[in-house]
Amino acid sequence: MDLVALTAAPLDVAALSASVASEDAGAIATFVGTSRRVSRDARNVERPVRTLWYEAYGPMALRRLAAIAEDTQTRFAVTRVAVHHRTGEVPVGEASVAIAVSAPHRAAAFDACRFVIDEIKRSVPIWKRERFSDGEEWVEGYSG
Amino acid sequence: MKVEVLLFAAAREAAGAERTTVDLADGASVADAFAALGSKHPPLRAVLPSCRAAVDEEFAPTTRKLAAGAVLAVLPPVSGG
């Protein structure tokens, strides 16, 4: 399994976690981002989401994910970092992103995991579209 | 020089195309390319101000000078993760 990947298939969080396991690590922290059922649309009205769709600038998204993983290794005392992001349709309740970080000690694993998701939301060229029963909209994103 | 442009998400929908090309003077910048895109695809004008640019798969400021053969991407505010 590649440590950093985009995939249209459902994410395998257990496999991702196993991929960062190491005899040097005493901790593995994971984060899973999932699609919520209810969302507030552009007019701040609550609407049930039918499904979500993720579009990616594939080559650049992979570069950014790899760069974030590398940056994480530099900033935190971690052993391995894995990130998989799903593209295409992601039904409500399913995972859109999964992160696993192994480290000798848990503090770094937790902190690094948080850093990775925060960086993904800031700088990876992926866009979420919410499909409601009566229309669809791009989620208002981070514009830096 | 011709510069290939990739459009994503709201930018793609506004332009009605995933990719397009713009004809620019040598030494033109990303800002020049965005202006040319707005001329070629007027519905893009509402979207471009909130978009970031990437040149050859790396974020680039609007002042970046473009070379022939560069691939410019127009990236609306990201919402991954």
Stretch among A93-102, A134-143, B8-17, B41-50 having the lowest mean pLDDT: A134-143
- Tally Cβ neighbours within 10 Å of residue A29: 22
> Which residues fall within 8 angstroms of residue A67, CB to CB, at 6 or more apart?
none
CA distance B58 to chain A (A): 7
Any CB–CB contact under 8 A between A126 and chain B?
yes
CB contact at 8 A, A126 and A55 = yes
Q: How do the pLDDT tens digits run along chain A, 144 residues long?
A: 899 999 999 999 999 999 999 999 999 999 999 988 877 767 788 888 889 999 999 999 999 999 999 999 999 999 999 999 999 999 999 999 999 999 999 999 999 999 999 999 999 999 999 888 888 888 888 876
Closest partner residue to B80 (CB to CB) among A59, A63, A126 is A126
- Per CB-CB distance under 8 Å, the chain B contacts of A120 are 80-81
What is the spatial distance between Cα B46 and Cα B43, in angstroms, rounded to a whole number? 6
Report chain B's terminal Cα–Cα distance, integer Å.
Answer: 36
What is the spatial distance between Cα A110 and Cα A123, in angstroms, rounded to a whole number? 20
Q: What is the pTM of this model?
A: 0.94
The single residue listed with the structure tokens 């011709």 is B2
Amino acid A144: pLDDT: 63
Contact B79 A143 (CB under 8 A): no
Contact B78 A121 (CB under 8 A): yes
State which amino acid sits at residue A92.
V
Mean residue pLDDT of chain B comes to 97
Q: Provide the ipTM.
A: 0.96
Q: How many helices (H) and strands (E) does chain A have?
A: 3, 9
Residues of B contacting chain A (CB within 8 angstroms): 6, 8-10, 50-52, 54, 57-59, 73, 75-81
Closest partner residue to B80 (CB to CB) among A59, A124, A140 is A124
